[in-house]
Structure 1
Amino acid sequence: MNQTASVTHEKDLRDAIEERKRIIFGELRERTHWFIRLRWFVPPGIVLGAVLADLLGFENLPIGSLAGTAVFIAVYNAVFYLIGRKKSRGIGQRGYIRNLTRWQFALDYVSIFLLIHFTGGIGSPLIFFLFFHIIFASILLPVPSSYGFATLVVFGMAAISVACHTGWLTPYSIAFRGRSLDFSGLPFHMAMILGFFVASVYITAFFTSSIMGMLRKRISNLVDLSENVRGLNEKMNALYAVIQAVGTVKKLDFVLKMVTSELCQVMGVLGISVKLLSPDGKFLHYVSAEGLVAGVFRSKVVEVAKSPLNRQIIEGKPYVTGKVNPGEMFQFGEDLAAANVESVLFVPLIAEEKVIGILGAYCKYQERFSPDEVEFFRQAAGLVAVAIENVRAYESIEKIMEERRWFMMRVAHNLRSPLAAVISILDVVRGGYQGPLNENQSEYLRRVDRRVHTMLTMINELLALAKSREERRKISFEPMDLSLLAGRIQRTFQDEARQKGLNLEILVGGEIPFVDGNPEMVEQVLENLVSNGIKYTPPGGKVRVEFSRGPKETVQIQIADTGIGIPQRDRQNLFKEFFRAENARMLEEHGTGLGLAMVKEVVDQLGGRITVESEEGLGTLFVIQLPKSGKTAKV
């Protein structure tokens, strides 16, 4: 994340709002066009209705006037269709949609008033179709427009009734099987019908508008809830990233960079800072900052005694303000003002009930941080503190391990030379150069020689193990030909195997790929495993080493023997330092237990894996799989 995180967050929010607007406008436009499509059925419906009414016994129907009204509806609907088709190619606008809807309702009312007038005025059965338009207007238009159209209906019907009664309009008196439906000569009946009609129109408009108002409010609440859920999801993701860092990231700089970037983005603020308390508690060091404040606080130090604000936070109290006063409590108030910071939020970093620093957030808007955001930031600070303490603990362990390795190497180096001198002296004495030895003296010196050689072997393996761990950070790998290594293993152990009466087989299965590694390290691995196989296999047995292609782009090395095997209970500890299986200790008293630990270290360093299969008394199979390189070797 960079210093434009807050700008990016605002842009994403605007884009999301615009997307919702486009969806809403699209729905409104679709409903408006649905009326246009529905209206195509009205003209033929009018003609068909007139014919059907005539067949049912209605008399004096003005067929010509009704047909003319049908043509009028078809013409203005065609105009609306062409306008809607042209506008639908672009992005709909709220004004265009509402204006198109209003014009449709207005012309529809004119058409309905004409049809009502031509079919008996206030006594026309078509008067009930006006209620459908009142309902549609209340659904699609704002409340004022809904009541406006309701009023238009009332005035329209009142005007038709008055005009027919006073003779301004010629009433169309239709009849049904000889019974007239004309009320123009009955003013009381007209007034009663008109009164009930007016009440029904406004009641319909009121209830429909109220229901739509509640629906719109619910939709608005759902949109707000959706925004809240999205914000909570982003915050949960940020907290999850911090939790992941607790267990995986082992460098303090990386942890601080990650958490400040995540929090800066998810909160949409100008910046995030981390201050850590010095061991003596007198100073706060800015160790990380993200966003626009990164340049303001880089490498700065706060003297706690001179900062009442920071002392308050170190005591465990969060601090939030919606209007920064540069001269009140802030040591770098001028810098905050230059960065346009208006709101700040500080919470203590607490690990194991001890304050180790302060986490801060900065925003350019006043009154930016709500109680919910303060609580989220406090929880995030708790995780950040745990991550920092975890990294510090890891660094302390690494330092101890480094000192341990240094001590091990130092002691081993200092012991190897005296032991070599002791072995040389023993060789001189046992060789009779200092005089003849009796049988007891020879046996005693032989036992001393074995112990000294065992100690020297342990020292050499300790040095090799420490070297492999040291080279893990330094060594560079290169493609290596395992077929050449197979030949060296054959030459190294063939005489030892023959002297013990063992059958040693080294097999290379056809053309095998190169592997990326260090020849000396891989050879050391194989020497350890083959040496153990020979050591723990009785005379007449067999030791086999096979190189072949393995599964999933790997090269496989199998080292099998027919020796004493490994007890089931000892296998889980087989690759631990200084561990030896129980039957191995019984057969060979002296041993270091470092060989297999070094084997596992090297295989892991090469990016491979090692598995073991064994049955006590029948033998052991070690399988090593190493990732192949791009080159191949022909055998």
Structure 2
Amino acid sequence: MRLGYELIKEQLFFQKELIERVYWFIRLRWLAAAAALAGSWVSFFFTPSFPILPLTVIALFIFAYNLVFLLVWKRLSSLSPQNVKSFNTFAHVQISADLTALYMMILFTGGIYSPLLIFSLFHIVLAGILLTPVSCFGYGIAVLAATGILATLQNQGILLLKPVFGSIPFTIHPGTADVLVSYSVFTIAILVTAFLTTSLKMSLRIKGRELLETSKELESSNTKLKALYEMLKKIGLSSDLQELMDLATRSAAGIMGVKACSIKLLDEGRKKLKFASAYGLSEDYVSKGAVDIDRSPINRKIIEGSFFSVGKIEEKDYFQYPEDIRKEGIASMICLPLRVEKMVLGVFCVYSGVSHDFGEEEIRFFSLISDLVALAIETLRGEINKTWFLQKAAHQLRSPFSTIYSMIKVMEGGFMGPVSEKQREMLQRCIRRIEMLGDLINDLLKLGIKRTDADRAVIHPVDCATILNALVPLFEAQARDRQVKIEFKVQPELAQLMGDEKLLDELFTNLISNAIKYTPSGGNVQVVLSGESENRIRIEVRDTGIGIPQEDRSRLFTEFFRAENAKSFCEDGTGLGLVIVKEIVDFLRGAVLIESNVNEGTTVCCLLPAI
């Protein structure tokens, strides 16, 4: 670390400190001038020979020039940008004026016999606080020179000055030896004061500078962590693998302020790395094809679990395409494994356009990003595979389900021959069970919203109120069948949102059907559609139903989960309704809030961004 005033002066904190100290010095001078004036008159009261007139004039002179200093300070403070050099010069002028006034007082109160001589130490301390160490010692030497000249003139009888109050710090009848001894002690006192003041100030300022650097590092880390948190929120809402990786590379490059970022994933044979996503790299560079791990010692090392960092890429570095790296303008880079526990998915690389040796903190932060991105990729892959399996199973079940359902309906209708009442009752129970299975199959097919290439929703401006109003007759009929009172409140002239009619239809259907299903006869359901601050649309469904136990709320969005009181109240149900609601709301970049008390009711609130 470089020491010295010039380095510290560059810090904004210490520039501000100088400006504040100069004003503090002016305020302190009002007290000093008032004390000098009051002390002079008190001394005159007890000692009639005290030179009251010159001391009063000097005190008033201090008041006068301090008023000028105050006006100058206000003028300098009003300038933008503030010039620290001007305040530095201003501090010199103030200390010089004060020392001049002090030595005028010393001259009228006995010269080297004056008790005021000790106050020169205060100005050395002030110079040490406000100015450079050189300036502080400079003023110390000036004080010693002025005191030495005064002592010489008085000792030689050229200035005939007598003490007013006694012989502090020099003797009344000094000889040359006495004067030298006293002057030597005074010199030591001045120089030690200057040394201690400047040393302490420099030590404090160095500590302050270190604190500033730590504060900047913490602020930078806080900014990065906030950006990382925002990135993770967006990644968490992403249901498309390519979208997730593109978001990760773009966000990581922005967070770290680098030229480019890329994700390369291993193929199924784990022998080659292919670019899966890149930000800031040219199409030519990305389209070079897969990297053969056996021919790339660097990538092989990374896949084995180590990181690779180079602060300045040169000819001797072992890259598969070195000429392309130079052409891209990449001067330094760091690559880390995309790792989930012990399994490596690929390589996460960050590229800088300038030569830069990545520090330990940067490597740790990059490693954190890499691990989080790898976890997000693996989690989404698992979700996609699970969704694919569920949809595949649902499709496979749909055909035999339809056949069985049709055949049993034919039998129940008596088309295959006479059916006794007992047989009809058993067939109707089978039909109810098969219809429940049909609901499950339909919910499984809906569950994969936007997670497969088929049946993707087309996002466009949608009038939410129109969709809800079209469904009102259906829900009113359902509520009548259940002997539940239902009420709809739709705010007029509601803003549109970016969505899809089919998705919003599913959202309303699941929310309102659930509320009706789990509300006992005589209960109430209220559906509110309104606008909210921050450009959001609020869909709120309240019921006076059975509620949700506190211990079950954390699992509400888990597939196939149903609370125990829900199972007891209604046998029908797939445990996928709220899961589908969450899928839709996440896809539309919204949020779901649930409040519930057992046997009092539930409120489900969906907040969706409006246009």
TM-score over 0.5 for the pair: yes
Q: Is the 1:121–1:182 contact (alpha carbons within 8 Å) kept by the matching residues of 2?
A: no
1:228–1:23 CA distance, 2 compared to 1 (3 A)? closer
| Aligned with 1:223 (options 212, 217, 220) | 212
Q: Is the 2:559–2:575 contact (alpha carbons within 8 Å) kept by the matching residues of 1?
A: yes
1:102–1:525 CA distance, 2 compared to 1 (3 A)? closer
1:156 aligns with 2:146: yes
What is residue 178 of structure 2 aligned with on the other side?
189
What is residue 324 of structure 1 aligned with on the other side?
313
Distance in structure 1 (CA, Å) of the matches to 2:295 and 2:281 = 22
Read off the aligned partner of 1:103 and give its amino acid letter. V
Distance in structure 2 (CA, Å) of the matches to 1:95 and 1:520 = 67
SS at match of 1:429: coil
| Aligned with 1:410 (options 399, 408, 413) | 399
Write the deviation string for residues 81-137 of structure 1: whole angstroms up to 9, x where unpaired.
Answer: 221121111243321121111111122222222222222222211110101111111
1:370–1:578 CA distance, 2 compared to 1 (3 A)? closer
SS at match of 2:394: helix
What is residue 281 of structure 1 aligned with on the other side?
270
Distance in structure 2 (CA, Å) of the matches to 1:549 and 1:417 = 37
Q: Is the 1:183–1:189 contact (alpha carbons within 8 Å) kept by the matching residues of 2?
A: no
| Aligned with 1:29 (options 5, 13, 19) | 19
SS at match of 1:479: helix
Q: Is the 1:150–1:202 contact (alpha carbons within 8 Å) kept by the matching residues of 2?
A: yes
Distance in structure 2 (CA, Å) of the matches to 1:100 and 1:158 = 27
Distance in structure 2 (CA, Å) of the matches to 1:490 and 1:385 = 47
Read off the aligned partner of 1:513 and give its amino acid letter. K
Distance in structure 2 (CA, Å) of the matches to 1:315 and 1:602 = 40
Q: Is the 2:411–2:417 contact (alpha carbons within 8 Å) kept by the matching residues of 1?
A: no
Moved over 6 A (4+): 17-20, 177-182, 474-477, 514-517, 523-530, 550-553, 557-560, 575-582, 598-614, 621-629
How far apart are 1:155 and its partner, in Å? Answer: 0.9
Read off the aligned partner of 1:427 and give its amino acid letter. F
How far apart are 1:559 and its partner, in Å? Answer: 8.8
SS at match of 1:40: helix
1:88 aligns with 2:88: no
How far apart are 1:480 and its partner, in Å? Answer: 3.2
How far apart are 1:465 and its partner, in Å? Answer: 3.9
Query: What is the identity percentage for the equivalent residue pairs of Structure 1 and Structure 2?
Result: 23
1:184–1:365 CA distance, 2 compared to 1 (3 A)? farther
Distance in structure 2 (CA, Å) of the matches to 1:487 and 1:78 = 83
1:364 aligns with 2:358: no
How far apart are 1:63 and its partner, in Å? Answer: 4.4
| Aligned with 1:377 (options 360, 363, 366) | 366
What is residue 12 of structure 1 aligned with on the other side?
none
1:460–1:391 CA distance, 2 compared to 1 (3 A)? same
Distance in structure 1 (CA, Å) of the matches to 2:365 and 2:607 = 48
Q: Which moved more, 1:548-557 or 1:72-81?
A: 548-557
Write the deviation string for residues 37-89 of structure 1: whole angstroms up to 9, x where unpaired.
Answer: 33234455444433333333374x54454344345434433332221121111
What is residue 462 of structure 1 aligned with on the other side?
437
For residues 191-206 of structure 1, what are the structure 2 equivalents within 5 Å?
191-206=180-195
1:58–1:203 CA distance, 2 compared to 1 (3 A)? farther
1:135 aligns with 2:125: yes
Distance in structure 2 (CA, Å) of the matches to 1:514 and 1:309 = 61
Kindly indicate whether structure 1 or structure 2 has the higher relative contact order, using CA contacts under 8 Å at least 6 residues apart. 1
Q: Is the 1:550–1:556 contact (alpha carbons within 8 Å) kept by the matching residues of 2?
A: yes
| Aligned with 1:354 (options 335, 343, 351) | 343
1:110–1:340 CA distance, 2 compared to 1 (3 A)? farther
For residues 551-562 of structure 1, what are the structure 2 equivalents within 5 Å?
none
1:513 aligns with 2:489: yes
1:58–1:252 CA distance, 2 compared to 1 (3 A)? farther
For structure 2, list consecutive stretches of 5 or more residues without a partner in the other structure.
1-6, 450-454, 492-500, 531-539, 547-554, 586-591
Distance in structure 2 (CA, Å) of the matches to 1:453 and 1:178 = 122
For residues 18-97 of structure 1, what are the structure 2 equivalents within 5 Å?
21-43=11-33, 45-57=35-47, 59=49, 61-90=50-79, 91-97=81-87
SS at match of 2:330: coil
What is residue 497 of structure 2 aligned with on the other side?
none
What is residue 202 of structure 2 aligned with on the other side?
213
| Aligned with 1:101 (options 91, 112, 117) | 91
Distance in structure 2 (CA, Å) of the matches to 1:160 and 1:580 = 97
How far apart are 1:259 and its partner, in Å? Answer: 3.4
Distance in structure 2 (CA, Å) of the matches to 1:264 and 1:87 = 43
Alignment coverage as a number of residue pairs: 549
1:549–1:622 CA distance, 2 compared to 1 (3 A)? closer
1:427 aligns with 2:415: yes
Q: Is the 1:120–1:182 contact (alpha carbons within 8 Å) kept by the matching residues of 2?
A: no
Q: Is the 1:274–1:357 contact (alpha carbons within 8 Å) kept by the matching residues of 2?
A: yes
For structure 1, list consecutive stretches of 5 or more residues without a partner in the other structure.
1-16, 431-441, 494-504, 534-542, 561-571, 586-591, 615-620, 630-635
How far apart are 1:283 and its partner, in Å? Answer: 2.2
Write the deviation string for residues 276-320 of structure 1: whole angstroms up to 9, x where unpaired.
Answer: 111112321222234x34767545532333323212222222111
Q: Is the 1:482–1:514 contact (alpha carbons within 8 Å) kept by the matching residues of 2?
A: no
Q: Is the 1:489–1:527 contact (alpha carbons within 8 Å) kept by the matching residues of 2?
A: no
How far apart are 1:214 and its partner, in Å? Answer: 1.5
How far apart are 1:597 and its partner, in Å? Answer: 5.3
Distance in structure 2 (CA, Å) of the matches to 1:364 and 1:295 = 17
TM-score after normalising by structure 2 = 0.73
Distance in structure 2 (CA, Å) of the matches to 1:263 and 1:490 = 51
Write the deviation string for residues 587-631 of structure 1: whole angstroms up to 9, x where unpaired.
Answer: xxxxx96556587788888989899989xxxxxx998979899xx
Distance in structure 2 (CA, Å) of the matches to 1:235 and 1:528 = 43
Q: Which protein shows a greater Rg?
A: 1
Q: Is the 2:282–2:328 contact (alpha carbons within 8 Å) kept by the matching residues of 1?
A: no
How far apart are 1:202 and its partner, in Å? Answer: 0.5
Q: Is the 1:116–1:122 contact (alpha carbons within 8 Å) kept by the matching residues of 2?
A: yes
Distance in structure 2 (CA, Å) of the matches to 1:622 and 1:78 = 74
SS at match of 1:173: coil
Write the deviation string for residues 178-221 of structure 1: whole angstroms up to 9, x where unpaired.
Answer: 99988587333222221111111111111121211221122122
For residues 440-451 of structure 1, what are the structure 2 equivalents within 5 Å?
451=426
Write the deviation string for residues 24-44 of structure 1: whole angstroms up to 9, x where unpaired.
Answer: 333322221222233234455
Q: Is the 1:349–1:355 contact (alpha carbons within 8 Å) kept by the matching residues of 2?
A: yes
RMSD of aligned C-alpha atoms?
A: 4.9
Distance in structure 2 (CA, Å) of the matches to 1:178 and 1:369 = 68
Q: Is the 1:483–1:508 contact (alpha carbons within 8 Å) kept by the matching residues of 2?
A: no
Q: Is the 1:264–1:271 contact (alpha carbons within 8 Å) kept by the matching residues of 2?
A: yes
1:189–1:576 CA distance, 2 compared to 1 (3 A)? closer
Write the deviation string for residues 443-482 of structure 1: whole angstroms up to 9, x where unpaired.
Answer: 6xx6665555554554444334433554575799712377
TM-score after normalising by structure 1 = 0.71
1:325–1:97 CA distance, 2 compared to 1 (3 A)? same
Read off the aligned partner of 1:223 and give its amino acid letter. L
1:602–1:92 CA distance, 2 compared to 1 (3 A)? closer
